[in-house]
Amino acid sequence: MNYQKVINEIYQTIHNQENIGQVASYIPELSKVDPSNFGVCLRTIKNEEFGAGDWQTKFSIQSISKVLSLSLAYKILGDSIWKRVGVEPSGNPFNSLIQLETDNGIPRNPLINAGAMVICDILISHTENATNDFLQFVRKICSNNNINYSESIAQSEKATGYRNIALCNFIKSFGNIENDPATVLDFYFHMCSIEMSCQDLTKTFMFLMDNNFRTPENERVLNTSQAKRINAIMETCGFYDESGEFAFKVGLPGKSGVGGGILALHPNEYCIAIWSPKLNKKGNSSRGMKFLESFTTKTNSSIF
């Protein structure tokens, strides 16, 4: 498979089309990004790397980070985390409060905001310093010490995150947040503010694609069964109320973020990251969705 050729072709086609959608502006700092940015990186299981456009430019990965915090909590605590958060698709927007009332504060899954906050709470309770330990974890699996939080984006979200503040307090009222909500939210906003390029993302997510992946210290991140489960959650919940559509059109486990990034992977074959900041109505990158639909169609590589 000539991945570079396929990537270049799709990139050019989409680049020539109108760049539709809206850049996220509810986090004011995110609206400063240049909407014309467009990057793609693919990494195979043999660690061959292919890129196009702005694939080495760092951006705010936002909710893509939720997969990494979930993986760290799963690594530390194993299956006991599922007592605090479910594994069912929500069919609702990422910041919805609706189901929490009927579900008694147990979020449907760890990839919606409510579920990611419970995971943040778990990490705060079971690490020395969650903000620092999480960053070190991400740096280690990416083999890159140059990965950082964006303090300006974290503070911008903190100053305007009324809905997230409501969510965290609401879950606390059901007893499913152990720590002070302000502490949980501070970690949550930092966790979402991590900046990476498409190239960094494909390196970071190798541990979910390659069963033989080891960190530089020759350590496994998750076992095979745990990695399968995280991929299953990405498949069913990674795009919120557009998860069915993503499975239907693309057919890969993946995760989006409101910074315009999408990470998707084909187990044992490749990891792919796309970045284009303009989002569709569900909060997923418009060009990213288009790119991946075309990519799995042309390469005949959906998991279905």
Nearer to ligand GLN, 84 or 158 (CB): 158
Catalytic: 67?
no
Nearer to ligand GLN, 189 or 291 (CB): 189
Residue tagged 């504060």 (tokens): 105
Length reported for the chain: 304
Catalytic one among 240, 256, 270, 285?
A: 240
Query: Using the rule CB under 6 A, is 243 a contact of ligand GLN?
Result: no
Q: Side chain identity at 229, as an amino acid letter? A: R
Contacts with ligand GLN in 13-72 (CB under 6 A)?
62-63
Out of 23, 192, 263, 264, the residue judged to bind ligand GLN by CB under 6 A = 192
| Coil, helix or strand at residue 148 | strand
Task: State the Cα–Cα distance between residues 90 and 247, nearest whole angstrom.
Answer: 15
Task: State the Cα–Cα distance between residues 192 and 153, nearest whole angstrom.
Answer: 9
Query: Using the rule CB under 6 A, is 94 a contact of ligand GLN?
Result: yes
Nearest residue to ligand GLN on Cβ basis: 63
Q: Count CA within 13 A, CB hemisphere, residue 203.
A: 19
Out of 107, 110, 253, 283, the residue judged to bind ligand GLN by CB under 6 A = 283
Structure tokens at 304: 């279905």
Catalytic: 63?
yes
CB of residue 254 to ligand GLN, shortest distance in Å: 13
CA distances from 38 to 43, 228, 275, 300, 303 (A): 17, 30, 5, 23, 25
Catalytic: 188?
yes
Query: Is the distance from CB of 30 to CB of 60 less than 8 angstroms?
Result: yes
Nearer to ligand GLN, 137 or 240 (CB): 240
Query: Is the distance from CB of 100 to CB of 107 less than 8 angstroms?
Result: yes
- Residues that contact ligand GLN, how many (by CB under 6 A): 11
Catalytic one among 23, 58, 65, 66?
A: 66
The mark string for 111-140 relative to ligand GLN (x by CB under 6 A, - otherwise) is --x---------------------------
Query: Is the distance from CB of 193 to CB of 157 less than 8 angstroms?
Result: yes
Query: Using the rule CB under 6 A, is 258 a contact of ligand GLN?
Result: yes
Catalytic one among 11, 74, 149, 188?
A: 188
Q: Count CA within 13 A, CB hemisphere, residue 106.
A: 10
Structure tokens at 69: 């915090």
List residues with catalytic annotation.
63, 66, 188, 240, 258
Residues within the interface to ligand GLN (CB under 6 A): 62-63, 94-95, 113, 157, 164, 192, 257-258, 283
